[in-house]
Amino acid sequence: MLKVQNVSKNFGDLKALNDISFDVSDGQILGLIGQNGAGKSTTFHSILNFLHYEGTITWNNQPLTEANFNEIGYLPEERSLMPKLTIEQQIIYLARLKNKSAKEIKPLIDDWLKKFAVKGTKKDKIKDLSKGNQQKVQLICTLIHDPKLIILDEPFSGLDPVNSDLLKQAILDAKKRGAAIIFSSHDMENVEELCDKLIMLRDGQIVLYGTVREVRQSFGKTRIYVTTDKTIEELAMMEHVVAAKPLEEQRFMLDLDDETSGKIVFDELTHGQYIEEFNQQPPTLNEIFKLKAGEHHE
Amino acid sequence: MNKLWIVTFETFLRQVKSWSFVMLLLGPFLMFGITMGAGYLGAMTGTSSEKIAIISDNQQLRTGFIKSNSDDVDKKITEKSVATKKMNKNKLVGYLILKADKQKVSAQYVGTRALGSNQKGRINNYLVATQQQLNFANAKLSPNQTKSLQQQPVLKQTVQKKTGTANLAKKISFWVTVIMVYIILITYTTITAQEIASEKGTKIMEIIFSSTTAGKYFLGKVFGVLLVILTQILVYLIGGWGGYVYAQHASLTKNFMTQYHTLINSVLRNLLSINLIYLLLGVVIYTILAAFSGALVSKAEDAPKAAQPVIMLNMIAFFVTFPFQNNIDSIVPKILSYVPFLSSYFMPLRIINNDASGVEIVISILVLLASIFLLATYIGKIYQGLMLQTDDSSFWKRFKRGLSYNK
C-alpha cells in the first residue's frame, strides 16, 4: 500500500503541494485529476523521491527508497525514449535498471509488442517508429518488469480509441495481479471507467477525494434528463429549475437548485400521467471537474 | 549487475560503437600511414631522378667512383645515348664522363641541372685522389716520401650532445603535452556535454531516475566517458609502440630514428610518465564540469551550446601556458600548477622542466583529487533537479527551480 501523509512542497514562493494525504491499496486504481499546474506531476515526483518534500510517503509502511525503485513502473507526462536504440535494446536497458536481466526480459518482448499491437519488429530503431508506436513501447518499458506500484502521468494523451482500449486492458490486468496504480488524466470518462478512487487537486490542495460514486453523489442528484412535450421556455420558468438545455427533439437537461426538488419537478411534469423519460442523476465527473475548476476562477 | 555499472557500460558502449569515436581512434594511424606512404612514394620516384650515370672507357676508373659514391649513381647505365634518353624522361639528373690518361684525370658533367655542392665536392674529392695517385706514380717517390705527402690536417669538434638534445626534448615535450591535453580535453568535454544535453533533451531522465539515483547515474556517465578515454589511450599506446618499432626498421625512417634516437626517447619519457595521471585527472574534472554544463540546457537542439563554457575554460588554460614556455620555473606557473583545471597543463610542464619536486607533485595531485571529489559530490547532489528542468523558461528560472528540488 502507498500512503501519502501531509505532503507539502514549495518552489520558492510557489506552494506546489499543500498538505495532501491519500492512499492506494494493492489492486486499487487511483485517478488524479486537476487542471494543468494543479500539482499532479509534483505529487508523482514526490512519490518517486525526485525532490525533497515535507511530510511522509510510505510503501508497505516503509519509507520509499532506492530499494523500492525496482517495484515501480513510471510513465512520465513527456514521452521520451533513446532514439538511436532499437526497441529491444531500449526495453532491455530500462528493464536492467529495474534489476531484471536481459535473459529474463528478452523472451517477453515479442508478446508485449503483440499485446500493444506495435507496428514493426524489435530490431527497429526507436527513431523510425511513429509517435503512437513510440508511446506504446514506452508503456511496455513501464509495465514489462511487473511493477507493484504503477504511476502513469497522462497515459491516454495522444492515443486513439483503439489504443486507449489496449492500455485500459493492460491497466486492468495489472490491477488483477495486485498492483497499486495511480494515473492522472484529463479524460474523465477513463477515470470514471477505471478508477476505484479519485483525487482532484487545485493549487496543490486536494479539493475532492473518494470513490467515483462518492464524489458524484456528494454533489447531489441535481441533474434531470427528461423527454416531454413542454417547450424550453416553459421548463426554464419552472420552480427549482436553475437551468434548462435542449438535447434532442423534446429531450432536455435540467439543473435543479437541490436534489430534493426532483420530486416537485417530477409531479409538475407528469401530473400523475405517463412520461417517456425522467432520469435524475448526479452531475458527471466532467461537470464536477468544470465546476470545481470554475470555483477557482470566480 | 550494479546499476552504476549498467549506466557506465551503456555509456561506454554507445560511445565506442559510434563512427565518430572510430574515426577519432583511427585518425592518427591514418595520418601516420598516409605520411609514410607519401614519403615512400616520393622516395621511390625520387630515386632515379636524383642519380647520375657514370660513362667511362676506363672500367677501373668507373668502378672506383661507383664504389665510393654508390648512392649517387645509377649503375646500370654505361652508355651516353641511354643516359640521354633517361634524362629526357626525367629519370636521370645527368651523366659524368670520366677520362684518364697517364698524366691527367678529367671529368665532364652533362645534366638537366647543376650539380649540388655536396655531390660536386664528392666528385672533386674522387678526382683529386685519383690524380694524386697518378702523380705519385709518375713522380716515382719512395714509400716514406709518399707517406709524408699523404699526411692530412686534423679538425676536431666536440658537441655537448646531451644538454642540447635535452633542451630540444623539453621544448618538443612542452608543445606535444599542451596540444595533447588540449585536444583530449576538448574532445571529451564536448562528447560529455553533448551526450548529457541530448539525453536531457529526450526527456528520458524521469524514467531513469525512477530506476536509479541521480548520483549513481551521474557517476556512471563520468565513469563511462573515462573508460572511453582509457580505451583510446590504450589503443594509442599499443599502436604507438607498434609504429615506433616499425619506424626503427623501415628503410624510410631507419636513419632518422637512429639519428634522433636520444631525442625521441627523451620526449617519450616526458610524455609517458606521471603526466599521464594529470591527463586522466584533467579529463575527469573537465568531464564533471561538462556534465554539469550539459545538464543546464533544456532542449536537444541546444546540445552543441552545452559544451561551450567548458571549452572556453580549457582554451583559457591552454593559452595561458604560451607565455611560460621559456620560463616555466617562474612563480606564476608554480602557483597555477596547484589550481584545479589549470594544474593538468602546468604541473606536467614543470615536471618536464625538472622543476617540480616529488612533494609538490603529490600536493598538486591531492588538491586535484579533493577538487574532483567535492565537485562530483556537489554536482551529483543537484544533478537530478537540474536534469528534470526541461521547460522552455529562462536559464536562471530553470537553474533556481532545479536547485530548489533539494530544498
pLDDT for A166-202, tens place per residue? 999 999 999 999 999 999 998 888 888 899 999 999 9
Q: CA of B404: which chain A residue's CA is closest?
A: A11
Residue A6 is predicted with a pLDDT of 94
User: Which has more confidence, B21 or A150?
Assistant: A150
Q: Examine the domain organization and report whether B171 and B81 are in the same domain.
A: no
Q: B127, B149, B171 — which closes off a domain?
A: B149
Q: What's the structural domain count of chain B?
A: 2
- Cell numbers for A146, please give them: 511487473
**Cβ atoms of residues B294 and B277 within 8 Å:** no
Assigned domain for B57 exists: yes
Residue A298 is predicted with a pLDDT of 47
Q: How far is CA A134 from CA A36, A138, A167, B121, B289, in A?
A: 24, 6, 14, 80, 33
B281-290: per-residue pLDDT in tens? Answer: 888 899 899 8
Q: Examine the domain organization and report whether B311 and B214 are in the same domain.
A: yes
CA dihedral A152, A51, B4, A121 (to 10 degrees): 20
**Cβ atoms of residues B39 and B78 within 8 Å:** no
Q: B118, B149, B180 — which closes off a domain?
A: B149
Q: Quick one: which of A132, A131, A137 has its CA closest to A161?
A: A132
Q: How far is CA B349 from CA B162, B179, B279, B325, B366, in A?
A: 20, 12, 12, 8, 18
Using the predicted structure, report yes or no on whether residue B181 has a pLDDT greater than 60.
Answer: yes
Which residues in chain A touch residue B401, judged by CB atoms under 8 angstroms apart? 11-12
Q: B123, B149, B175 — which closes off a domain?
A: B149
Assigned domain for B186 exists: yes
Using the predicted structure, report yes or no on whether residue B22 has a pLDDT greater than 90.
Answer: no
> Which residue type, as a one-letter code, is found at position A47?
I
Using the predicted structure, report yes or no on whether residue A1 has a pLDDT greater than 50.
Answer: yes
**Cβ atoms of residues B103 and B134 within 8 Å:** yes
- What architecture (CATH level 2) is domain A220-281? 2-Layer Sandwich (3.30)
Q: Examine the domain organization and report whether B261 and B325 are in the same domain.
A: yes
Using the predicted structure, report yes or no on whether residue B202 has a pLDDT greater than 90.
Answer: no
Distance CA B173, CA B146 (A): 54
User: Which has more confidence, B197 or B406?
Assistant: B197
Mean pLDDT, to the nearest integer, of B175-195? 85
Using the predicted structure, report yes or no on whether residue A234 has a pLDDT greater than 50.
Answer: yes
What's the gap in Å between the CA of B405 and the closest CA on chain A?
5
Residue A62 bridge partners (DSSP):
A59
Q: Examine the domain organization and report whether B177 and B123 are in the same domain.
A: no
- Cell numbers for A193, please give them: 471507467
Average pLDDT, chain A: 90
Using the predicted structure, report yes or no on whether residue B310 has a pLDDT greater than 70.
Answer: yes
Which residues in chain A touch residue B3, judged by CB atoms under 8 angstroms apart? 97, 99
Mean pLDDT, to the nearest integer, of A73-98? 90
Q: Examine the domain organization and report whether B391 and B258 are in the same domain.
A: yes
Which residues in chain B touch residue A79, judged by CB atoms under 8 angstroms apart? 203
Q: Examine the domain organization and report whether B221 and B324 are in the same domain.
A: yes
B216-253: per-residue pLDDT in tens? Answer: 898 998 899 889 988 988 888 888 888 888 888 877 77
Q: Examine the domain organization and report whether B166 and B296 are in the same domain.
A: yes
- Cell numbers for B137, please give them: 706514380
Cβ-proximal residues to A50 (8 Å cutoff; 6+ apart), any chain = B206, B209, B384, B388, B405
- A58 alpha carbon, distance to own chain's centre: 21
> Which residue type, as a one-letter code, is found at position A281?
Q
SS3 string of B239-290? HHHHHHHHHHHCHHHHHHHHHCHHHHHHHHHHHCCCHHHHHHHHHHHHHHHH
Q: What is the CATH number of the domain that holds B114?
A: 3.40.50
For chain B, give the longest Cα–Cα distance. 111
Residue A240 is predicted with a pLDDT of 92
What's the gap in Å between the CA of B385 and the closest CA on chain A?
7
Assigned domain for B28 exists: no
Which residues in chain B touch residue A76, judged by CB atoms under 8 angstroms apart? 203, 206-207
Using the predicted structure, report yes or no on whether residue B203 has a pLDDT greater than 90.
Answer: no
Q: Closest CB to A81: pick one of B202, B400, B404.
A: B202
Q: CA of B383: which chain A residue's CA is closest?
A: A50
Assigned domain for B274 exists: yes
Mean pLDDT, to the nearest integer, of B331-347? 90
Cβ-proximal residues to B234 (8 Å cutoff; 6+ apart), any chain = none
Ranges of CATH 3.40.50.300 domains, chain A: 2-217
Using the CB atoms, write b or e for B10-21: b if 16+ within 10 Å: bbbebbeeeeeb
Mean pLDDT, to the nearest integer, of A220-240? 90
Ranges of CATH 3.30.70 domains, chain A: 220-281
Residue B162 is predicted with a pLDDT of 58
CB contact under 8 A, B203 and A94: no
Q: CA of A14: which chain B residue's CA is closest?
A: B401
Distance CA B129, CA A176 (A): 109
Using the predicted structure, report yes or no on whether residue B47 has a pLDDT greater than 60.
Answer: no
Q: From chain B, which residues contact A within 8 Å (Cβ)?
A: 1, 3, 6-7, 10, 14, 199, 202-213, 384-385, 388, 390, 400-401, 404-407
**Cβ atoms of residues B66 and B86 within 8 Å:** no
Assigned domain for B15 exists: no
**What's the domain range around B81?**
50-149
- Domain A2-217 sits in which CATH superfamily? P-loop containing nucleotide triphosphate hydrolases (3.40.50.300)
Mean pLDDT, to the nearest integer, of A4-21? 91
Residue A106 is predicted with a pLDDT of 93
Using the predicted structure, report yes or no on whether residue B407 has a pLDDT greater than 70.
Answer: no
B85-111: per-residue pLDDT in tens? Answer: 888 888 888 999 999 888 888 999 999
Q: Quick one: which of B105, B279, B97, B99 has its CA closest to B180?
A: B279
